[in-house]
Amino acid sequence: MERRVLGVPVKRCTCGCGQLIPAGQRFCATGQRADDHRRNQKRQTSGRTTARWNRLRTTAIAIAGNRCHDCDVLLPTARLHGHLDPKLKGDHRAATLADITILCASCHGRRDGARAARAAF
């Protein structure tokens, strides 16, 4: 049964605070700030914010002709993702052009979702 407060569907915040939040959200405001901070730290630590990674990604997209490797959809550069070879374990600083596969958001989610599910067990 769906919980409602004043007619709005609600659920518990996933940060563990127990606060009720609208059903479409994952976190309360405090949990969202903490998640944003965690993601930003991960991006900086992995090298995803470096000029070198941005040049590699842009070059790989140009070589791929702005097309997703898996589904061949043509997209602008900003909507394509540079998927890093899992053997690098997220270390974007160690990447070469051979380690990058260009994917659209949907295909990237499928690949990373499968990897994340395996890592959880």
Tokens of 101: 């596969």
CB count within 10 Å of CB 86 equals 13
CATH 3.40.1800 domain range(s) in the chain: 50-119
pLDDT for the residue 121: 43
**Residue 44 one-letter amino acid:** Q
Read off the pLDDT band of 113 (50, 70, 90). Answer: confident
Task: Give the per-residue pLDDT at 114.
Answer: 67
pTM as predicted: 0.67
d(CA 74, CA 67): 4
d(CA 121, CA 119): 5
φ and ψ at 12, to 5 degrees?
Answer: -80, 145
Average pLDDT over residues 22-37: 90
For the ranges 6-15, 38-47, 57-66, the maximum mean pLDDT occurs at 57-66
| pLDDT bucket at 47, cuts 50 / 70 / 90 | confident
Class of domain 50-119: alpha beta
